[in-house]
Structure 1
Amino acid sequence: MNEEPQAATVRVFIALAPPDDAKEELEQRLLPAYAAYPRMRWNRIEDWHITLAFLGELPVTAVALLGPPLADLAATRPPLRLGLRGGGHFDERVLWTGIDGDLEGLHLLAAEVRAAVTGCGIPFHGRPLRPHLTLARARRHDTTSAVEAAAGLDAFTGRRWEAGRLHLVGSNTGRGPGPIQYRDIRAWPFDGAK
């Protein structure tokens, strides 16, 4: 019996990434939570990002179509001034820190990114943007760790930074054991980014 070859796919999203020093500032604030909640699945600091559009599994050929419109979009947009602030949780299991700064510009950028995606013929049915950076996930049946860790971030206000690049990111979700890891497929600087 002949089997049809399956097209290669990749799980992708479009995001912004805080600079290393902003991530390190938050990581220092999280040290007590790391010690208090070691059973949480903590995201690697190098993978922290702000998702603008989650696209899921796409054929590699579709991913290639995204490059030119995202490059054009980045080339016409100024960098955004953002910061990391506070904390919260989704469904008592997902710990996050919030985003502060030019939120109007962030929402506009997300809308433009999503329009570029659909302009490539890639269906996008994502949720409305809720600007955040995911830090960790509690294990099933653990409804206290994320809630308590979020309370520890209430007073956190990180320094402001410039989001200077738009990232097209691939992940290894569902491809073997271990934590989720991300890699830039491509990244484009915003106009005037340092």
Structure 2
Amino acid sequence: MSRRMFIAVLPPAQVIEHLADQIEHVGPPAGRPRMTTPGSWHITCAFLGEVDDDRADRLADALPDHAAGIEPFPLRLAGIGAFPDLATPRHWWVGVDDPTGRLATLFRACRQACRESGIAVGRAAQLAHLTVARGKPAPDPEWAAAWQGYLGPEWTVDGLDLMVSVLSGTGAHYSSIARFPLGR
């Protein structure tokens, strides 16, 4: 059997609440976006796609050692952006302020654990972000401007989660199947 999986950093409740308040204050972007829900908010460290049970078990065995090698670090959500760009958005996202650079180190450690487990993941650096809208948003300079200067509360990243994504008619539903503390 296989499952659709990814590795993520899950922001704590106060960060989620702050972001939800910002979205409520600013409102949705123009167009027909599908807004993501607070229960789905995460920062993807590595997207794995379909993973069979054997490789998932090997990954769950490898991740603790990789996580232990990275000390907890401060992080905060900051600003707004879009993929592929602000002029032609397909996804709106909130950026990440990583003053120590350890999130990039965590991304690399996750990719290495995946490779050791026989799971193919890209080697390219990825842009740390949290997706807030998908689908058919329209370019919305006023909406983007309302986010300039957004700075969420700082928190300490102290672990990462191995997540399962189940697709349904109402979108993807995520659940953590294992949590791995950092620095232990």
Give me the TM-score of the superposition, normalised by structure 1.
Answer: 0.84
* 1:55–1:160 Cα change, 3 Å: same
- 2:30/2:139 contact within 8 Å kept: no
* Residue of structure 2 in register with 1:188 after alignment: 180
Give the Cα separation in 1 of the matches to 2:71 and 2:48: 24
* Residue of structure 2 in register with 1:59 after alignment: 52
* Residue of structure 2 in register with 1:9 after alignment: 2
Amino acid at match of 1:177: G
Alignment of 1:1-194 (within 5 A): 8-34=1-27, 39-91=32-84, 92-102=89-99, 104-125=101-122, 127-139=124-136, 142-144=137-139, 148-173=142-167, 176-191=168-183
Deviation at 1:126, TM superposition (A): 5.4
Deviation at 1:127, TM superposition (A): 4.2
SS in 2 for 1:180: strand
SS in 2 for 1:11: strand
> What percentage of aligned pairs have identical amino acids?
31
SS in 2 for 1:181: strand
Deviation at 1:75, TM superposition (A): 2.4
Amino acid at match of 1:19: P
* 1:35–1:133 Cα change, 3 Å: closer
* 1:28–1:64 Cα change, 3 Å: same
SS in 1 for 2:102: helix
Amino acid at match of 2:173: Q
Deviation at 1:35, TM superposition (A): 5.5
* 1:75–1:31 Cα change, 3 Å: same
* 1:36–1:144 Cα change, 3 Å: closer
Deviation at 1:148, TM superposition (A): 4.7
Aligned residues: 180
* 1:124–1:101 Cα change, 3 Å: closer
Cα displacement string for residues 134-177 of structure 1 (whole angstroms, at most 9, x for unaligned residues): 111132xx4335x553332112111211111111111013xx31
* Structure of larger gyration radius: 1
Give the Cα separation in 1 of the matches to 2:28 and 2:127: 28
